Amino acid sequence: MRGIGARLRLLLRLVGLLTLCIGQSSCMTTLPKIAPVHKATRRTPTMPAAVTVQQRVLSTPTPACTGTFVAHDLDHSTVVAGETVQMFEGNGTGVAINDLDDDGDLDLVLANRHGANTIFWNEGRLQFRPDRFGRGATRAINVVDVDGDNHLDLVFTRGNSGPNYWRNTGMKQDNERWEQTILDGVAKPAYSMAWDDTDGDGDLDLVAGSYDAELLNVGGNNFLFGDGAGVYAYENRGDHWAGTRLAQKSQALALALFDVNADGHRDLLAGNDFATPDQTWARRGGAWIEAAPFSQISHSPMSYDWGDIDNNGSFELFATDMKPYTFNLQTLAQWRPMMEKMWHPTPFGDPQIMENTLQISQNDGTFRNEAYSRGIDATGWSWSGKFGDLDNDGFLDLYVVNGMIEAELFAYLPNQELVEQNQALRNDGSGRFVPVPQWKLGSERSGRGMSMADLDSDGDLDIVVNNIRGAAQLFENRLCGGTSIELDLRWPQSKNTRAIGATLILDTDAGRFSRDVRAGSGYLSGDPARVHFGIPAHATISHLDIHWPDGAVTSLDKLSPHVLITVTRT
Amino acid sequence: MITHEVAPEAQCIPRFPVLALLHPREKTRLFILWLGLGVAGGMGVMRLFVLPSWSVTALVLGLLLVPALQKWRSDAHRWGHTVMVLSVLLAAQAFHSLEHAVQMFQYHVLHWPPFASSGLISAANAEWVHFLWNWGVVAVVGYLAWNGMRNVWAWLLLGWALAHAAEHSYMLVRYLGLAHELQQLGFPQISAQGLPGVLGRDGWLARSTTTQGTFICRLPGLTTASRIDVHFWWNTGEIVALLLAAHTFLRSHLSQLHAHSAQAH
């Protein structure tokens, strides 16, 4: 036994030495070396994963912090056909962030309805070059490496037809970079989508959901008496996609791939608008099994997000809905006629409530909605709601964009618009949230898609919002205090080249912070593969564990703050 | 304070004098008859003239008032005016508690929205009904205290009723403000009822900027219960205090009547 142990230790040293050498040779700065330690001590299975590590020091924030966000207009506005916003046009479109040209800076993609989509190429220092792209008529946007060729592709949903897939050829010229092609086998109308390696075969699979109310509105009897749409799970088979119909009908404003039962497999949630109850399917034995894990759910969830808000190692699930954030009489009067119009009798035992929900996992495996007691049940007519450590204090904060425009529903309001202020809520360190209007994120434009990322590479999260009937906005983070670590995972041997589905756990003397790599969350919006950890100013970093989607684990020690680390699996 | 001629029956002190006081006695049949007639007639009239459901309740109450007035006159003759007023309050508050139980049924069992779960009579106008009702209760309890119902339960009842009436005053102000705002928007017909009060879920205490992020926003019941639950418990507290105050008062009052009567004989 002693002999085997000695050989194993020797092998580990050799692997460590090898990866250290590769890491050292590819370091761009003279930062302290990061030591990958291949051990299987912190979590059960696991096979060690050899990696190379590159790190880059993040830039110093300029100008200096002011304790607020600063709003910048982007040259893009989601517009609709005609003078007024009719019916579901008011639902707007999404935004996605990712490094499209692999230059280290995160680019933006904003969808549109009646105008062109826009790619904003990040040229550094928050300078962006707009590039009109496609004809619009889109809803959700995700930036993922669909074909596993190491170049990030664009996938837009369109609501009333199958998704638009723009393959990134890797060419440098804008007009040569994109090649419009099809996802063979993915033809059903899709409004929302989610990406992950759901079948564990190493490539990315797709889940898409329809919004039948809009299809009925557009297609009328053709839709009503046709085959319909619903929720489909499409398995990536390399040259084509094999779809499994999970639901015949859906009003899926939101889809999420979230590990509900903590078995290591991401389950599927479809957040349905109107009275249609949300649906959950657990991933079990390679199949999707319908489940009902929540005793209380949002009535019309527009978006899902998840994060470890109390740093206890498990993710909480957040859904946005419609409930005024202030109870002043003027606001309530604006809501009341619409609420009365929308009210309908609910069946006995209906778990739906018209407010945001926060599902907290209990010890017995059940979930309890704690949105009200944690102060995040009411954020207005809410669309995208996302967690992010905006003030770098180690705790995930929440930002929600809101507002509604619709000619018939709000005919009694000026410009047929319910004007609301976006809501920023700071996590006070206990998993409870307090409004922070002083952060100046309370834009009154009608926000729909929203995503967060460090766009100026200064170590804090900036925010991009795709507004309807108003210019999109970039909120530059100039909050003070704290530091951060950012991580890009690369897995070039896999078809899942950005390691979507990986979980990262950072241990510090101020707590253990958990994040995951995902393609999208919030309303119709895509997330960057880059993971951001906010860290309190004086905290000492112990180590980082990366749990790759195939179960392999990489542990990194000797980490410095304020760096972007690229971990490439070899 | 006791100046009335007392009937001989008052000399016997029942173990539970509140029950004796609430019993319709010789008017029982009349009560049942009017109740049946009221419900049947009210339902018919409601269907025929497409009247709101609260009008049935109003009709039944109107019909029941006839035997009730006779019964209360009899109470006054037997036990004096103060006890008669207490009898009226007990009957009315019992009905009011029933009203809140119905609201709980509408909200929790039928899953009606809060603004539609307004009970049997309050649908006429819950805010005004409850505002006037609760200040009326304060006035009557004050009268009873002035006329001898002074015990620890009575003082608790008075404090409870005052706080409850204050909450309804806040709600009435909010209701009138919202009705005004709705009128400004061109919706005078839309109900402004059902807003949360000071206590309960989304109430002033829970939503005030001064309490944001504090434990006050999470006080079980006080800042988490729905308006319907909160007011059910307000009234439950009120009727419990009233029953205890009435029991204590009646036992002592009837003893005095007994002693007075014995002395007179």
Q: Give the pair of three-digit tokens for residue A178.
A: 């994109």
Give the DSSP H or E segment for A210.
Answer: none
> A412 vs chain B: nearest CA distance in angstroms?
7
CB contact under 8 A, A336 and B201: no
Phi, psi of A87 (to 5 degrees): 45, -125
Whether the Cβ atoms of residue A84 and residue A416 lie closer than 8 Å to each other? yes
User: How do residues A38-52 score in pLDDT, each as one tens digit?
Assistant: 443 334 456 888 999
Residue A16 has pLDDT above 50, yes or no: no
CB contact under 8 A, B187 and A434: no
Q: How far apart are CA B112 and CA A19, in angstroms?
A: 64
Percent of chain A with pLDDT over 70: 92
How high is the pLDDT of residue A343?
A: 76
How high is the pLDDT of residue A61?
A: 81
Give the ipTM of the model, two decimals please: 0.86
Percent of chain B with pLDDT over 90: 53
Q: Which of residues 283-342 of A touch B (CB under 8 A)?
A: 326-327, 329-330, 332-334, 336-337, 340
B1 pLDDT tier (thresholds 50, 70, 90): very low
Mutate to test the interface with B, among A322, A323, A327, A438 (most CBs of B within 10 A): A327
Residues β-bridged to residue A282: A289
CA end-to-end span of chain B, whole Å? 20
Stretch A181-208: mean pLDDT, rounded? 97
A147 pLDDT tier (thresholds 50, 70, 90): very high
Residue A320 has pLDDT above 80, yes or no: yes
Q: Is B171 on the interface with A (CB under 8 A)?
A: no
User: How do residues A281-290 score in pLDDT, each as one tens digit?
Assistant: 999 989 999 9
User: How do residues A149-191 score in pLDDT, each as one tens digit?
Assistant: 999 999 999 999 999 999 999 998 878 999 999 999 999 999 9
What is the rounded average pLDDT for all residues in chain B?
88
The letter for the amino acid at B183 is Q
Peptide bond into A46 cis (omega under 30): yes
The letter for the amino acid at B251 is R
Task: Calculate Rg over the CA atoms of chain A.
Answer: 23
Q: What is the b/e burial string over B119-151, where b = at least 16 CB atoms within 10 angstroms of the residue's CB?
A: bbbbbebbbebbbebbbebbebbeebbebbbbb
Peptide bond into A277 cis (omega under 30): no
Identify the residue whose tokens are 């084509």. A240
Helix, coil or strand: residue A494? coil
Residues β-bridged to residue A234: A206, A243
Ramachandran class of A86: left when φ > 0, alpha when ψ lies in -120 to 50, beta otherwise = beta
CB nearest to A432's CB, from B109, B195, B213? B213
Q: Is B191 on the interface with A (CB under 8 A)?
A: yes
CB contact under 8 A, B191 and A340: yes
Q: Which of residues 75-134 of B touch A (CB under 8 A)?
A: 109, 111-113, 115-116
CB contact under 8 A, A336 and B182: yes
CB contact under 8 A, B111 and A372: no
Peptide bond into A63 cis (omega under 30): yes
Residue A481 has pLDDT above 50, yes or no: yes
How high is the pLDDT of residue A5?
A: 53
Q: Is B16 on the interface with A (CB under 8 A)?
A: no
Helix, coil or strand: residue A329? helix
- A352: closest chain B residue by CA: B111
How high is the pLDDT of residue A20?
A: 37
* Sign of the dihedral defined by the CA atoms of residues A279, A284, A286, A287, in that order: negative
CB contact under 8 A, B217 and A375: yes
Whether the Cβ atoms of residue B96 and residue B231 lie closer than 8 Å to each other? no
Give the DSSP H or E segment for B160.
Answer: helix B152-184
How high is the pLDDT of residue B48?
A: 86
Compute the count of residue pairs across chains A and B with CB atoms less than 8 Å apart.
61
Whether the Cβ atoms of residue A253 and residue A236 lie closer than 8 Å to each other? no
Residue A309 has pLDDT above 80, yes or no: yes
Which residues in chain A have their CB less than 8 angstroms from residue B112's CB? Answer: 345
How high is the pLDDT of residue A14?
A: 45
> A506 vs chain B: nearest CA distance in angstroms?
27
A566 pLDDT tier (thresholds 50, 70, 90): very high
- A432: closest chain B residue by CA: B213
Residue A294 neighbours by CB under 8 Å, 6+ apart: A278, A280, A351, A357, A359, A367, A369
Residue A565 CA, distance from chain mean position: 20
Q: Among residues A190, A163, A322, which one has the least CA distance to residue A250?
A: A190
B12 pLDDT tier (thresholds 50, 70, 90): low
Which residues in chain A have their CB less than 8 angstroms from residue B192's CB? Answer: 336
User: How do residues A359-416 score in pLDDT, each as one tens digit?
Assistant: 999 988 899 999 999 999 999 999 999 999 999 999 999 999 999 999 999 999 999 9
CB nearest to A337's CB, from B190, B195, B202? B190
User: How do residues A521-562 score in pLDDT, each as one tens digit?
Assistant: 999 999 999 999 999 999 999 999 999 999 999 999 999 999
Residue B201 neighbours by CB under 8 Å, 6+ apart: A372, B223, B224, B225, B226, B227
Q: How far apart are CA B75 and CA B68, in angstroms?
A: 10
User: How do residues B183-199 score in pLDDT, each as one tens digit?
Assistant: 999 999 998 988 999 99
Whether the Cβ atoms of residue B10 and residue B254 lie closer than 8 Å to each other? yes
CB nearest to A327's CB, from B180, B207, B224? B207
Stretch A1-23: mean pLDDT, rounded? 45
How high is the pLDDT of residue A458?
A: 96
Q: Is A343 on the interface with B (CB under 8 A)?
A: yes
> B154 vs chain A: nearest CA distance in angstroms?
36
Whether the Cβ atoms of residue B205 and residue A356 lie closer than 8 Å to each other? no
How high is the pLDDT of residue B52?
A: 82
User: How do residues B62-120 score in pLDDT, each as one tens digit?
Assistant: 889 989 999 999 999 988 999 999 999 999 999 899 989 998 998 888 877 777 787 88
Residue A478 neighbours by CB under 8 Å, 6+ apart: A61, A63, A64, A65, A66, A67, A68, A69, A70
Q: Is B184 on the interface with A (CB under 8 A)?
A: yes
Mutate to test the interface with A, among B171, B175, B187 (most CBs of A within 10 A): B187
How high is the pLDDT of residue A48?
A: 87
The letter for the amino acid at B6 is V
Residue B58 has pLDDT above 80, yes or no: yes
How many CB atoms are located within 10 Å of the residue A310 CB? 18
Residue A3 has pLDDT above 70, yes or no: no
Domain-wise residue ranges, chain B: 80-264
User: How do residues A80-106 score in pLDDT, each as one tens digit?
Assistant: 998 899 989 999 999 999 999 999 999
Stretch B143-164: mean pLDDT, rounded? 97
B44 pLDDT tier (thresholds 50, 70, 90): confident
Residue B2 has pLDDT above 70, yes or no: no
Q: How far apart are CA B128 and CA B62, in angstroms?
A: 19
Give the DSSP H or E segment for A467.
Answer: strand A462-468
